[in-house]
Chains A and B, each alone.
Chain A
Amino acid sequence: MKKRLKRKIAKETLLLLFLTAGLYIVVMPMVYMISTSLKPNGALYEFPPRFFPRLQEVTVENYQYIIGEGKFYMNFVNSIVVSVTTVAAAALVAAALGFCIARFNFLGKNLLFVFIMLTMIIPGMTLIVPQYELAVWLKVIGKLTGLIPFYIAWVIPYSTFMIKGFVETVPRELDEAIYIDGGSVFTVFFRIILPLAKPGIASVSIFNFLTAWEEFPWANTVINDNAKRTLPIAISGFFGQHQFTQWGYVFALSVLSLIPILMVFIFCQKFFVAGLTTGSVKG
């Protein structure tokens, strides 16, 4: 018995050591990014390069520059507006779609579902050319309204698919009770489905927030005006602006733009894992 316990402790220690070693490699790029953002600009092309800045060198001048420039606020607000609008609209629209597909039979339902699955499979970027023509025609090039509806359409298939799964776990008897009391389809949707499928909608919304917050190719194509840029294109715009890339500025801006994502991740961890694993462990 004692021998077995000893073996167990040895195994645990070994695994912990192994995981810690792996973790060094996994988080190293992030740590390097943060440490570079804290270096004075002159030290970025120093030789030999240092992983961490010297202690007396540590500076927030890169952050001061980014925040002082003022553009940062615009980019940040643009990102917030685009992401929050996308998340809210997509949640409501996809919940309604998911609810109808899960509960009712209507003309073209199977076709709709197949189409939703299909758009989950084909890369969204393959549609970029006709979508660009559409955006030109709608006169939304260079505007935030050129981003939001496209993002909503982009996240609808996955959101609908997930929310449909959650709606199916809500007992039908609850719907029936409302109908017997003379309630309408809307009553069921707003009083029963939305509250009870909340965890599912929350987990989907986190992913939609991540998607909208970090989206690059479409925003880079549609937005050319400095004032309308979202954070990802602001970051990439910094890069290669001068002959020597100001890595300190690039990474300071990167760290700042990761903060909201980290906050969402930490506060909503519970929903995060639930959303990831639904659909993956069947069979």
Chain B
Amino acid sequence: MNKTAKGKQWQIGMLLLPGLLVFGVFTAYPLIKLFIMSFFKWDFGSMLEQQFIGVQNYKEVISDPYFRISFVNTLVYTLVTVPAQMALGLLVALCINSITHLKVSFRVLYYLPVITSWVIASLVFKYIFNTEGMLNYILFHVLHLTDHNIRWLDSRWGGLGVAMLLGTWKGIGWNMVVFLAALQTVPTELYEVSGIDGAGAVKKFFHVTIPCIRGTILFALVMLTIGGFNVFTSIKMITGGEPGHQTDTILTWMYYKAFSTGKFGYSAALSFIVAVCLAILAAVQFRLMKNREEG
């Protein structure tokens, strides 16, 4: 018996080994290395010899006005795109849930932006919002709403606005599918009961639908917040952080500092701050979700 138990342990170890190896070398080790790097003067000039400088990198990050701009930009991006995606996704899901024809077709078509890659979607938006692009032509020459071509991508909030529009457009489909699944779990009897009580559609939505899908709403909130802080490719492709780093987000700024100026220590400290912030944020949101489930 003891022998077979030992054999089993060995077999379990063999099954775990490849995963632990890949995960350990390519994720766990870099994470530890990130932490260590953040306390060293580590840049292109000192690739071979690094000097321990304590929390100097963290101080530099916190007092950097460009970091603050990128942090505010990321925060605004998240605060705008997350509720917008959820509201629009839920709206589409409610509509699709209430129709009897063409359900599947609508679901598939609304999902298309989600599977379009970020690089491609960003380029399409850049093309549309080009100063000589389609949107300006319509606003200026067709509708006469403006008297000149608006330089959408040449200002902080213009550039970010286009990125936020893209993020929202790309996220609606995911929210729709997730909320559609949640709506199917709402018991129809509840609607019937509240219908007898004379509740209208709006009242039903707030008193029956929302409480029943609360778990899904929180799940989407956690996932989308993480996604919001991950914004990188769209900014990089659409504005590249221009003008003058005004549209940089945390990750594009981190990338710029690391790979354009060679400040690896600075970037490591910045990355570590982001990682810790997100871990805390997600933990709080998960805790909230747990409490709601129990309460």
Contact = CB atoms under 8 A, between A and B. Distances in A.
The main secondary structure of chain A at its interface with chain B is: helix
A239 B123 contact: yes
Given A26-B113, A30-B112, A250-B123, A122 B275 contact: yes
A122 B214 CA distance: 24
A127 B268 CA distance: 8
B123 A235 contact: yes
Contacts of A26: 109-110, 112-113, 169, 172-173
Contacts of B34: 126-127, 129-130
A110 to B, nearest CB: 14
Nearest to A220: B236
B26 A153 contact: yes
Contact of A96 (B16, B113, B174, B236): B16
A43 interface: no
Interface in A7-37: 11-12, 15-16, 18-19, 22-23, 26-27, 29-30, 32-33, 36
Contacts of B178: 276-277, 280
Contacts of A273: 177, 181
B139 interface: no
Nearest to A215: B117
Given A100-B16, A153-B23, A129 B37 contact: yes
A29 B124 contact: yes
Interface stretch (B5-13, B61-69, B77-85, B152-160): B5-13
A36 to B, nearest CB: 7
A24 B108 CA distance: 14
Interface string B1-41: 00000011101111110111011011111110110010000
Contacts of B30: 127, 130-131, 134
A168 to B, nearest CB: 17
Given A11-B98, A36-B127, A281 B22 contact: no
Nearest to A20: B106
A185 B292 CA distance: 39
Interface size class of A (residues with CB under 8 A): 35 or more
A32 B134 contact: yes
Contacts of B172: 26
A160 B278 contact: no
A134 B118 contact: no
A130 B268 contact: yes
Interface string B114-143: 011111110111011000111001000100
B98 A128 contact: no
A273 to B, nearest CB: 6
B58 interface: no
B161 interface: no
Given A32-B128, A232-B119, A281-B181, A22 B271 contact: no
A216 B120 CA distance: 11
Contacts of A42: none
Contacts of B185: 281
B53 interface: no
Contact of A258 (B100, B116, B255): B116
Interface string A131-142: 111100000000
A49 B219 CA distance: 43
16 contacts: A29-B169, A97-B20, A100-B15, A122-B274, A123-B251, A126-B271, A127-B31, A128-B258, A130-B33, A131-B30, A210-B115, A235-B123, A251-B124, A257-B117, A276-B181, A282-B215
